[in-house]
């Protein structure tokens, strides 16, 4: 029988046996939200795929991926399911409390959705204070460093919502669900009330950048901040494997860190 790494495939006795080795437990997080008209809304599947590969590569465990996150700025696009920040926080705290009460002391968040990041920070601080437990997190797509981006994209960074890296990664992971035929002539706004828009939340006023917290339709009725049309499955495979490689390095290092009763 092949070894199991996904806890939802294991019996509780199998999980109990695995605890003798003090394994790292990965909590994968994603979202169900619009990713432009060409990419399926279930982007949590990318985080799930990374977690599964890293768990196997590092002899760790992974729990089921949380498929919903804080996606308030996409709420008006069909198919987006957003939880409140308070709900996401409560879920994360309950998951960690359950795992820790079972005896797991090496727990890590794999975050595949930017909107979850500040909530994870808050959860980790509460967990540290209440349980004397350190729970780190990896923002998966930020593991694609500027050097990797330059290698793959050249001088022009093609990353952005509805663009890279997820378009290429989904062309690699879930090609049957992609609709690149719908990615033609997508519209984005570069200015809003004479402000230069930069990404989802940033704008420039008189040469100074600040946060304005846009809704997506202020930026693009198509739900994108950059064109996805240069994406490819080949590129997606390379980027996915780079994320798995870097996440595996971190997890292997995390095994030797004292995290509990600090």
The structural domains of the chain, ordered by start, are 7-146+238-254 (3.40.50.10310)
In this model, does residue 208 exceed pLDDT 80?
A: yes
The 10s digit of each residue's pLDDT in 97-148 is 999 999 999 999 999 999 999 999 999 999 999 999 999 999 999 999 999 9
Calpha distance 228→186 (Å, rounded)? 9
In this model, does residue 1 exceed pLDDT 80?
A: no
What pLDDT, on a 0 to 100 scale, did the predictor assign at position 121?
A: 98
Question: Percent of the chain at pLDDT above 70?
Answer: 100
Q: How many CA atoms lie within 13 A of 241 on its CB side?
A: 7
What pLDDT, on a 0 to 100 scale, did the predictor assign at position 190?
A: 81
CA distances from 210 to 40, 65, 72, 192, 220 (A): 31, 33, 19, 13, 19
Element (H or E) spanning 225, and its range? none
The 10s digit of each residue's pLDDT in 59-74 is 999 999 999 999 999 9
Tokens of 76: 């008006």
Q: How confident is the model at residue 192 (pLDDT cuts 50, 70, 90)?
A: confident
Q: How confident is the model at residue 29 (pLDDT cuts 50, 70, 90)?
A: very high
Q: How many CB atoms neighbour CB 130 within 10 A?
A: 11
Q: How confident is the model at residue 189 (pLDDT cuts 50, 70, 90)?
A: confident
Alpha helices in the chain (DSSP H): 12-18, 44-58, 85-102, 117-131, 146-153, 166-173, 216-219, 233-254
Q: How many CB atoms neighbour CB 246 within 10 A?
A: 18
Q: How far is residue 194 CA from its own chain's centroid?
A: 32
Pairing state between β 61-62 and 24-29: parallel
Calpha distance 223→191 (Å, rounded)? 16
In this model, does residue 191 exceed pLDDT 90?
A: no
Q: How confident is the model at residue 262 (pLDDT cuts 50, 70, 90)?
A: confident
Q: How confident is the model at residue 198 (pLDDT cuts 50, 70, 90)?
A: confident
Q: What is the overall mean pLDDT for the chain?
A: 95
- Where on the phi/psi map is residue 39: left (φ > 0), alpha (ψ -120 to 50), or beta? beta
Calpha distance 30→97 (Å, rounded)? 20
What pLDDT, on a 0 to 100 scale, did the predictor assign at position 98?
A: 98
The 3-state DSSP class for residue 196 equals strand
């Amino acid at each position: 029988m092949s070894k199991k790494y996904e806890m939802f495939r294991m019996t509780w006795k199998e999980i109990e046996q695995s605890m003798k080795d003090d394994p790292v437990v990965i909590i994968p997080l994603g979202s169900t939200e619009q990713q432009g008209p060409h990419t399926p809304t279930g982007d949590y599947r990318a985080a799930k795929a990374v977690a599964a590969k890293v768990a196997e590569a590092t002899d760790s465990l992974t729990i089921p991926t949380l498929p919903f996150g804080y996606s308030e700025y996409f709420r008006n696009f069909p198919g987006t399911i957003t939880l409140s920040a308070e709900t996401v926080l409560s879920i994360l705290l309950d998951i960690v409390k359950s795992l820790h009460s079972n005896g797991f002391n090496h727990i890590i968040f794999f975050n595949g959705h930017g909107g979850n990041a500040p909530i994870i920070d808050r959860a980790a601080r509460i967990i540290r204070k209440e349980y004397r437990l350190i729970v780190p997190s990896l923002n998966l797509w930020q593991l694609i460093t500027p050097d990797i981006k330059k290698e793959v994209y050249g001088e022009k960074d093609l990353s952005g919502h509805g663009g890279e890296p997820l378009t290429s990664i989904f062309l690699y992971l879930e090609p049957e669900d992609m609709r690149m035929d719908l990615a033609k002539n997508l519209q984005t706004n570069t200015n809003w009330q004479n402000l230069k828009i930069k990404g989802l939340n940033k704008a420039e006023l008189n040469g100074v950048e600040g946060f304005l917290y846009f809704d997506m339709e202020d930026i693009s009725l198509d739900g994108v901040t950059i064109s996805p049309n240069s994406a490819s499955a080949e590129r997606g495979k390379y980027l996915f494997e780079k994320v798995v490689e870097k996440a595996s390095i971190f997890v292997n290092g995390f095994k030797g860190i004292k995290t509990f009763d600090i």
